[in-house]
Amino acid sequence: MPTTQPRRSSMTGGERFAVRDPATGEIFEDAPDQRPDELDAVVGRAEEAWRGWRADPAARATALLAAADAVEAAGADIAPLLTREQGKPLAESYAEIARTAARLRYFAELAPGPGPQPITDGRPVHGEIRWRPLGPVAAIVPWNFPLQLASAKFAPALAAGNTVVLKPSPFTPLATRLLVSVVSAALPEDVLTVVTGHEPLGARLASHPGIRHVTFTGSVPTGRAVARGAAASLGRVTLELGGNDAAILLEDVDVERIADRLFWAAFRNCGQVCMAVKRVYAPARLHSDVVEALARRAKAAVVGPGLDPGTQLGPVNNAPQLARVEGYTARAVADGARVVTGGHRLDRQGHFYAPTILADVPPDSPVVTEEQFGPVLPVLPYGSLDEAVEAANDTGFGLGGSVWGTDLDRAGAVADRLECGTAWINHHAELSLAQPFAGIKDSGVGVAGGLWGLYGNLRPFVVHRPEAA
Ligand code: NAD
C-alpha cells in the first residue's frame, strides 16, 4: 500500500507528495515530488559548482567545520521533524544529528585528504600519486537512518572535493531537506543539493551521465538495479545493502550480563538497522535461559510515539514494512515457531508492533534466512560450535556478526571464522568513524568509513618520471 500519495500543493504549485507520521499513520506534511527530467538541471549545476569546490582543500575544510557547527545549532529544529517522519525516539534523532556533525568534523580534518604519495618499488622514487576528486556524486539513502546515512555519504564525498546530489527515501524526505538547507548554507551554492520524489527519480539519478560515483544504501534488489543503471555511464558504484547478522553465544556466556546489550543490538530503531542482530544462536543448554532473558526485556520495553518522553521503541516506519514484519512472523508460526512474546500489532493508531521473540523456529523459515528488518527476533539452539558457525555463515548476506562469551580469546577465535565485513565481540553494530565498513556477498560493494571512505571518493592521478629527480 503506497503511503505517500502525490498531490498538488496550493503553496508552490508544483507536484508534492504526502508524508505520514508512523506514530499515527496520518499525513502531516508534504514534500516536492521532483520529476526525473528536473535532474538534468540539478546535476548540471553540481558539475558547475565542482569547478570551484575541488580547487581549494583548505577552504573546503573550513566550510565543512562551519557546517558541523550549524548542524548542531539546528538540532532542536531537525530532531522533532526526524522523529515525526521516521518514528524513532527523540533522543535517537538527536544522536543522528550529533553523528552527522561529528562526521563532518572528522572528514573536514582528514581534508585536504591524502597528499602526493611517492611511488617506489624499492628502487629510487620514480613518481607520485596525487589524489583527485571524481566529480558529482549521487547519494541515495533509505528511511531507517536518514541523516546518519546521508552524512556517511556526503561528508567524505564533499571533503574529497566532489559535489553531491542527495536523494532520501520518499518515506523520510523532510528532515533531510532541512539538514541540507543547514549544511549547504555553509557551502558554496550547489555543492550539496537534495532531490525528493518517487521512482524513477532514484533510477534516473543513478544512471545519470553527469554522475561519476553512485553511493547507495538500501535493499539488495534496488542495489542491483542501481548497479545496472550506473553501468550506462561506467561511473563508480558503492553499495551498502542488507544484512542478516547472526549473534553466536558461547557456552561460557553470562546470559544476564549480556542480555540488555544483546536485546538492544536487535531491537534498536525497531530492528530497522542493516547491521542489527537478526538471528541469535545459543548453546542448547542455555537456549531457554536466553529466550527467557530476551523475552523479559521485550515485555519491559516502552513502545510508543517517538516524541513521548520515556519511549524506547517507536513505530515501524511505514505500512509496507509493517506488513512485511507481520508476514515473517505469520510464516514462522505456520512453520512451527512459538511466539514467546509479542507477535502482533499494538491495539492503537499508528504502525506499532510488539517486540517479538520467537523460539522453535525451523532454520529454513524466512525469518531466519532473510532480512526481517523489524522488531522480531528468532532464537535458535545449537549443538556444536561448528554447527553454529556454519549456520551463521549459511546466508547470502555478509554484513556483520558477533560472538558473545567470557573468554575473550576464544570469542575472538570464533569471530575470526565469521564470513562478513565486521565481527564484534560482546556487542554488535557499534562503528567508529575511523573504521572501514564493507559488507561482503550480497551485503555490498566498496568500502565506506574512515580514510577508506575518503579514498572511495577519490581517484589516483599518477605523475611518472623515468628516475628520481
Ligand atoms: P530501498 O532499496 O527500497 O530504497 C533505498 C533508496 O533507493 C530509497 O531512497 C529509494 O527511494 C531508492 N530507490 C528505490 N528504487 C530505486 C531505483 N530503481 N534506483 C535508484 N534508487 C531507488 O530500501 P529501503 O526499504 O528504503 O531500506 C531498507 C533496506 O536498506 C534494508 O534492506 C536495509 O538492510 C538496507 N540498509 C543497508 C544499510 C547498510 O549500510 N548496509 C544501512 C541501512 C539500510
Q: State the pLDDT at residue 8.
A: 46
Closest-lying ligand 1 atom to the alpha carbon of residue 142? 26
Measured CA to CA, the distance from residue 16 to residue 196 in angstroms comes to 9
241 Cα–ligand 1 center, Å: 7
Ligand 1: which residue has its CA nearest to atom 9?
169
Kindly name the residue from 85, 92, 240, 371 that is annotated as catalytic: 240
8 Å CB contact between 265 and 247: yes
Structure confidence at residue 112 (pLDDT): 57
The residue contributing the CA closest to ligand 1 atom 17 is: 203
CATH 3.40.309.10 fits 245-425, yes or no: yes
Distance 398 CA to ligand 1 centre (A): 17
In 3D space, the residue among 130, 100, 102 whose CA is nearest the CA of residue 116 turns out to be 130
- Residue identifier of the C-alpha nearest atom 18 of ligand 1: 203
| Contact between 267 and 246 (Cβ < 8 Å) | no
Give the nearest ligand 1 atom to 170 CA.
11
Query: What pLDDT sits at residue 467?
Result: 67
> Which atom from ligand 1 is nearest to the alpha carbon of 221?
2
Q: Whose CA is closest to atom 26 on ligand 1?
A: 142
Helix (H, G, I), strand (E, B) or coil at 400: strand
Query: Residue 225 Cα, ligand 1 centroid: separation in angstroms?
Result: 11
pLDDT value at position 466? 73
Cell numbers at residue 457, please? Answer: 571518493
Residue of 148, 217, 399, 445 with the most ligand 1 atoms within 8 Å of its CB, for mutation: 217
Res 2: pLDDT: 38
Distance between CA atoms of residues 164 and 171, nearest Å: 21
Mutate to test the pocket of ligand 1, among 145, 171, 274 (most ligand atoms within 8 A of CB): 274
Provide the mean pLDDT of the chain: 95
Residue 143 CA: nearest ligand 1 atom is 26
Site to substitute for ligand 1 among 219, 430, 431, most atoms within 8 A of C-beta: 219
* Protein residue closest via CA to atom 38 of ligand 1: 274
245-425 matches 6-241+440-463 in CATH topology: no
Q: Which residues line ligand 1 (CB under 6 A)?
A: 140-144, 149, 167-170, 199, 202-203, 206, 217-219, 222, 225-226, 240-243, 274, 371, 373, 399, 439, 444
Distance in Å, CA 341 to ligand 1 centroid: 29
Q: What is the DSSP string of 317-344?
A: S-HHHHHHHHHHHHHHHHTT-EEEE--S
Separation CA 249–CA 243 (nearest Å): 19
Distance 431 CA to ligand 1 centre (A): 20
- Which residue owns the Cα nearest ligand 1 atom 8? 169
- Which atom of ligand 1 is nearest to 206's Cα? 20
Residue spans of the chain under pLDDT 50: 1-4, 6, 8-12, 469
Ligand 1 atom nearest to 168, measured from its CA: 9
Amino acid at 349: Q
Dihedral sign, Cα of residue 115, residue 116, residue 117, residue 118: negative
Helix residue ranges per DSSP H, 143-173: 146-159
Please list, residue by residue across 5-17, b when 16 or more beta carbons sit within 10 angstroms of its beta carbon and e when fewer do: eeeeeeeeeebbb
Domain boundaries of the chain, sorted by first residue: 6-241+440-463, 245-425
Question: Does 240 qualify as catalytic in the annotation?
Answer: yes
Grid coordinates 568509513 are at which residue?
449
CA-to-CA distance for 222 and 16, rounded, in angstroms?
Answer: 24
Terminal Cα-to-Cα distance of the chain (whole angstroms): 67
Domain covering 6-241+440-463 assigned CATH 3.40.605.10 in the classification: yes
